[in-house]
Amino acid sequence: MNKAEVKPLSSAYRLLNPGSVVLVSVGDGTRDNLFPVTWNTPVRQDPPMVAIVSGKRHFSYPLIVERGEFGLNVLQASLVDAVLGCGSTSGRDVEDKFARFGLTREKAGIIRPPLVEEAVASLECRVCQVVDLGSSAILVAQVVRALASTEHFREGQWRFDSGLELLHHLSGSRFCVTVSEITGRKPG
Ligand SMILES: Cc1cc2nc3c(=O)[nH]c(=O)nc-3n(C[C@H](O)[C@H](O)[C@H](O)COP(=O)(O)O)c2cc1C
C-alpha cells in the first residue's frame, strides 16, 4: 500500500479519532507479535501521545514494557478475520502471527517492532508512562512517527471517497464499519 509520513506529527491523533480497533505490533527484531486493542485513544496532540490498555498476562505485555516500544496499526474491514485471529490466539502458542493470519511485516522507521504492511495507517510509539491497574495497565506513549495511506488519508484527514472502511470493535466477534463522514452545524 502506498503510504506517506503524516506531517505535522501533531495531526497523527486523527488517525485514531474514529476509535478504530488497532493491531498492536511488538518485538525486538528476533521475536515479534501482534494483538488487537479496542481500548486505544489519543491523549495529547503536541507532543503527540496515545494510550492503550493491555492485559498484563498477554504474551505481548513484557515485550512492550521491556523494549518500551510498540506499533499501532489501523486496519480496514477486510482484515477483520486477521484481527479476530490475532486476538483469539496467544504468541505463547503461535510463533508467527503475521504468517498465520496472512499479514506482512513492514520495517518501521524509528522503532524496533515491525509494522503491518496491510494497515491503512501505522503509528510508531515509545512508552513514557505505565499506569498499573492490577491485571492490566494503561500504557501511555509518545508517537514518534506515523504513516498513512496516501489514498485514504489526505491533508491530515481520513477521506471516504475511495472506499475506505475503518473497522470498529463492538464485542466478541461483532464489529462495525465506518464508510462515510457527515458535517455537523455549529450553533449561532
Ligand atoms: C477485537 C479484539 C479486541 C481486543 N481489545 C483488547 C484491548 O483493548 N486490550 C487488551 O488488553 N486486550 C484486548 N483484546 C485481547 C487480546 O488481543 C488477546 O488476549 C490476545 O490474544 C493477546 O495476544 P498475546 O497473548 O499474543 O499477546 C482484544 C481481542 C479482540 C479479539
Asked if the model's pLDDT at residue 125 lies above 90, the reply is yes
Of 139, 184, 185, 162, the C-alpha closest to 1 is 162
Take atom 16 of ligand 1 and give the residue whose Cα is closest: 87
State if pTM tops 0.85.
yes
Characterize 140-161 residue by residue with b for buried, 16 or more Cβ atoms within 10 angstroms of its Cβ, and e for exposed.
Answer: bbbbbbbbbbeebbeeeebeee
Answer yes or no: is the C-beta of 80 below 6 A from any ligand 1 atom. Answer: no
Answer yes or no: is the C-beta of 25 below 6 A from any ligand 1 atom. Answer: no
Answer yes or no: is the C-beta of 70 below 6 A from any ligand 1 atom. Answer: no
Predicted pLDDT at 68: 98
Answer yes or no: is the C-beta of 24 below 6 A from any ligand 1 atom. Answer: no
**Gap from CA of 187 to ligand 1 centroid (Å):** 40
pLDDT in tens, 164-181: 999 999 999 999 999 999
**Gap from CA of 36 to ligand 1 centroid (Å):** 5
Answer yes or no: is the C-beta of 169 below 6 A from any ligand 1 atom. Answer: yes
Answer yes or no: is the C-beta of 36 below 6 A from any ligand 1 atom. Answer: yes
Mean pLDDT, the chain, integer: 97
**Gap from CA of 26 to ligand 1 centroid (Å):** 13
pLDDT in tens, 2-22: 999 999 999 999 999 999 999
Instruction: Identify the structural domains of the chain with CATH numbers, from first to last.
Output: 3-178 (2.30.110.10)
Asked if the model's pLDDT at residue 28 lies above 90, the reply is no
126 vs 103: CA distance, rounded Å: 23
Share of the chain above pLDDT 90, in %: 97
Asked if the model's pLDDT at residue 62 lies above 90, the reply is yes
Task: Record the cell numbers describing residue 3, joined without a space.
Answer: 503510504
| Residue 39: half-sphere exposure toward Cβ, Cα within 13 Å | 9
Whether residue 45 contacts residue 109, with contact meaning beta carbons closer than 8 Å, is answered with no
Give the pLDDT band of residue 120 (cuts 50, 70, 90): very high
52 vs 56: CA distance, rounded Å: 12
